[in-house]
């Protein structure tokens, strides 16, 4: 969904506000799709769902000012980036996403995977990479910084949580993964605009839940 954020910026609109309002409606459109490939929604269907949602919202006079121009820029960008019958990142952990923000640890810390993480590609667990990918592609964040780790109660599958923090520009999170050195890897999400921190948090939670990676 980072393409929506790019379309918003090109149209001069607030990507956090637009994404937050549009995402639930887009998901409802996709749930109704009958054109799936191995339970994955083709990119063409995602394009249609986004276009339909943005068109419906732009036609609403009470919300037109917030969304005006986003549909046109989305259509231009989707033609550049979405193949006709490929699949995209709506399906949990399976799709192809655009590059997200930096995910890294510190030189002083190891991690639950028994190594220092300098980029997401250093994480040996495919599910952990995919979970962090969901967060890393959130509009309005600048980086994800890994922190201390521990052995916590195991989860049935890899999952994550993100919560509010009293520290300005920061959200706190944790990733559960059954790894060599531990089962809970903490991290911080750095937010670009402190005033939009709550909106960013809600966006992340919705995306993690949609992808099936939310720890509840």
Query: How many whole angstroms separate alpha carbon 154 and alpha carbon 158?
Result: 9
In the chain the beta strands, taken as DSSP E runs, fall at 102-104, 141-150, 159-163, 170-176, 184-191
- Residue for token pair 């549009």: 22
Query: How many whole angstroms separate alpha carbon 132 and alpha carbon 134?
Result: 5
Residue 95 has pLDDT above 50, yes or no: no
Q: What are residue 40's phi and psi, to 5 degrees?
A: -110, 145
Query: How many whole angstroms separate alpha carbon 62 and alpha carbon 85?
Result: 35
Ramachandran region of residue 16, left (φ > 0), alpha (ψ -120 to 50) or beta? alpha
Query: So where are the chain's domains?
Result: 2-81, 102-211
Of residues 118 and 188, more confidence is placed in: 188
- 29-88, pLDDT tens digit by residue? 777 765 554 456 666 677 777 878 888 887 777 888 888 888 888 777 665 443 333 333
- DSSP 8-state secondary structure symbol assigned to residue 127: H
- Answer for the pair 181, 114: CB distance below 8 angstroms, yes or no: yes
Residue 207 has pLDDT above 50, yes or no: yes
Query: How many whole angstroms separate alpha carbon 83 and alpha carbon 73?
Result: 17
Residue 100 has pLDDT above 80, yes or no: no
Q: What is the mean pLDDT of residues 9-29?
A: 82
- DSSP 8-state secondary structure symbol assigned to residue 42: B
Q: What are residue 129's phi and psi, to 5 degrees?
A: -60, -45
Q: In sequence order, which residues have a C-beta less than 8 Å from that of residue 146 and are 6 or more positions away?
A: 103, 104, 105, 106, 109, 111, 117, 185, 186, 187
- Residue for token pair 């923090």: 165
Sign (positive/negative) of CA torsion 187, 193, 199, 200? negative
Query: How many whole angstroms separate alpha carbon 99 and alpha carbon 83?
Result: 17
Residue 98 has pLDDT above 70, yes or no: no
pLDDT at res. 35: 54
Closest CA to 103 of 128, 74, 66: 128
- 151-187, pLDDT tens digit by residue? 988 888 999 999 999 999 999 999 999 998 999 999 9
Taking the model in full, what pTM does it have?
Answer: 0.58
- Residue for token pair 């190891």: 110
- DSSP 8-state secondary structure symbol assigned to residue 121: G
């Amino acid at each position: 969904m980072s393409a929506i954020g790019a379309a918003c910026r090109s149209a001069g609109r607030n990507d956090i506000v637009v994404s937050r309002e549009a995402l639930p409606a887009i998901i409802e459109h996709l749930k109704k799709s009958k054109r799936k490939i191995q339970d994955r929604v083709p990119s063409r269907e995602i394009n249609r769902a986004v276009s339909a949602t943005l068109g419906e919202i732009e036609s609403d006079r009470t919300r037109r000012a917030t969304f005006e121009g986003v549909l046109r820029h989305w259509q231009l960008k989707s033609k550049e980036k979405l193949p006709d019958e490929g699949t995209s990142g709506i399906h949990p952990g399976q799709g192809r996403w655009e590059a997200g923000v930096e995910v890294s640890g510190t030189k002083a810390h190891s991690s639950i995977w028994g190594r220092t993480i300098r980029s997401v590609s250093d994480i040996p667990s495919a599910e952990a990479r995919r979970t962090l990918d969901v967060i890393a592609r959130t509009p309005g964040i600048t980086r994800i910084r890994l922190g201390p780790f521990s052995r916590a109660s195991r989860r049935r599958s890899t999952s994550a949580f993100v919560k509010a923090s009293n520290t300005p520009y920061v959200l706190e999170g944790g990733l559960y993964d059954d790894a060599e050195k531990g089962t809970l890897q903490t991290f911080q999400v750095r937010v670009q605009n402190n005033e939009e921190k709550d909106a960013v948090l809600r966006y992340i939670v919705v995306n993690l839940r949609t992808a099936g990676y939310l720890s509840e």
